[in-house]
Amino acid sequence: MRPLPAAELHLHIEGTLEPELIFALAARNGIDLPYADIGDLRRRYEFTDLQSFLNLYYNNMAVLQTEADFTEMTRSYLGRAAAAGVRHAEIMVDPQAHTSRGVPLENCINGVAAALASSETEFGISTELIAAFLRDEPVDDALAVLESLLAMEAPIIGIGLDSAEVGHPPRDFAALYERAHEAGLKCVAHAGEEGPADYIRQALDLLQVDRVDHGIRCMDDEALVERLAAEQTPLTVCPLSNVRLRAVDTLAVHPLPRMLERGLNVSINSDDPAYFGGYLDDNVARLLETFDLSTTQLVRLAENSVRAAFISNERRRELLAEIQQWQSEHAPAAESPT
């Protein structure tokens, strides 16, 4: 079955570093990895919570040194994403995770941007770049990096907020988001992944975000669900990530079907696919194995992703037409014209 065409809106490019590429880049850059071999590394992909994943995620970034390393990582994601049905991707990068290791901001931004510049011609995927800031670092650090990005005219469409959530509320980053809005950037933030529903409210009210990354904990707060449904705030949900980071006990109890029933504007995304057992198509396949999702619901999820994307209305129309075409090919026999 041809994969469902969709936009991927919640993807950390550093979370696409596959073990094989980690070892290849380590060899190229003369970096000693603290793992015996690829199998040893893979066996460590058992996480108890967000922090246990972040520790490994940041450690593995040591292999990213040159502009070419960032380009190779990004091209490798784009190739895999194309096979997964991704037609547009808004890719987050964590600049502070590299500058704090002494890697120049230019290596990171120019390296990723070089791959994105040819994503349409090489992979048929339109792309945008989002600079995500680490919420477990001081807001002043984030502001300084944002100023550097603006000064170098980095090709970013927006900013995000990620890393360890609990104890690092959105309100601490109000000044960063004020600056980003003033600079005409789009704004997204992780909220309600492990943190409480109130962090989602803060992201909406204090950071004025255009989308919420994850947002699953809104289901703990009935009034918030009603508001998100009324305002149709996009929530970029990452089912396999939530299972692997124990934000939910199992996929079978994931709130996605209930979120759809409540009329929330949810899309499916892969977050850190190299770490969480799969890309966008794997997330869709596991959802289909687990839940009785109809073709109409799948199409709704894909349409939501395209409607929530930071793209031109022309590109939006093109992608919505592709989804309609997919639906006409996959509609159950009873629904097909005779």
The residues of the shown chain that bind ligand ADE, judged by CB under 6 A, are 12, 15, 50, 57, 162-163, 190, 193, 241, 271-272
Interior CA angle at 236 toward 188 and 268, to 5°? 155
Orientation of helix 222-231 relative to helix 197-205, angle to 10°: 40
Residue 331 CB, shortest distance to ligand ADE, in Å, is: 34
- CB 39 → ligand ADE: shortest distance, Å? 23
What does 180 interact with, of Zn ion, ligand ADE, none (CB < 5 to 8 A by kind)? none
Identify the active-site residue in 67, 193, 194, 303: 193
Nearer to ligand ADE, 72 or 271 (CB): 271
Torsion of CA 103, 106, 109, 110, to 10 degrees: -130
Q: List Cβ neighbours of 110 (8 Å cut-off, separation of 6 or more).
A: 67, 70
Residue nearest to ligand ADE (CB): 162
Q: Minimal distance in Å, beta carbon 132 to ligand ADE?
A: 7
Residue 163 partner contact from Zn ion, ligand ADE, none using kind-dependent CB cut-offs of 5 to 8 Å? ligand ADE
DSSP 5: P
181 and 187 Cβ atoms separated by less than 8 Å: yes
User: Which residue, 237 or 308, has its beta carbon nearer to ligand ADE?
Assistant: 237
Residues that bind Zn ion (CB under 5 A): 271
318 is catalytic: no
Cα 256 → chain centroid: 16
Question: Using an 8 Å Cβ cutoff, are 95 and 108 in contact?
Answer: yes
Which of Zn ion, ligand ADE, none binds 19 (CB below 5-8 Å, type-dependent)?
none
Q: At what angle do helices 105-117 and 139-151 cross, to 10 degrees?
A: 60
* From the list Zn ion, ligand ADE, none, partner contacted by residue 15 (C-beta under 5 to 8 A by kind): ligand ADE
Please answer whether residues 9 and 305 qualify as being in contact, where contact means their C-beta atoms are separated by less than 8 angstroms: yes
Least separation in angstroms between CB 137 and Zn ion: 16
8 binds, among Zn ion, ligand ADE, none (CB under 5 to 8 A by kind): none
Least distance (Å) between residue 269 CB and Zn ion:
8
Total residues found in the chain within this entry:
338
Which one, 87 or 190, has the nearer CB to Zn ion? Answer: 190
Nearer to Zn ion among residue 90 and residue 271 (C-beta): 271
Q: Are 13 and 77 in contact (CB under 8 A)?
A: yes
Q: Which is nearer to Zn ion, 67 or 271 (CB)?
A: 271
The least CB distance from residue 12 to ligand ADE, in Å, is 4
- Single-letter amino acid, residue 302: A
Distance of alpha carbon 75 from alpha carbon 21, whole angstroms: 12
Nearer to Zn ion among residue 69 and residue 271 (C-beta): 271
What residues are labeled active site? 193
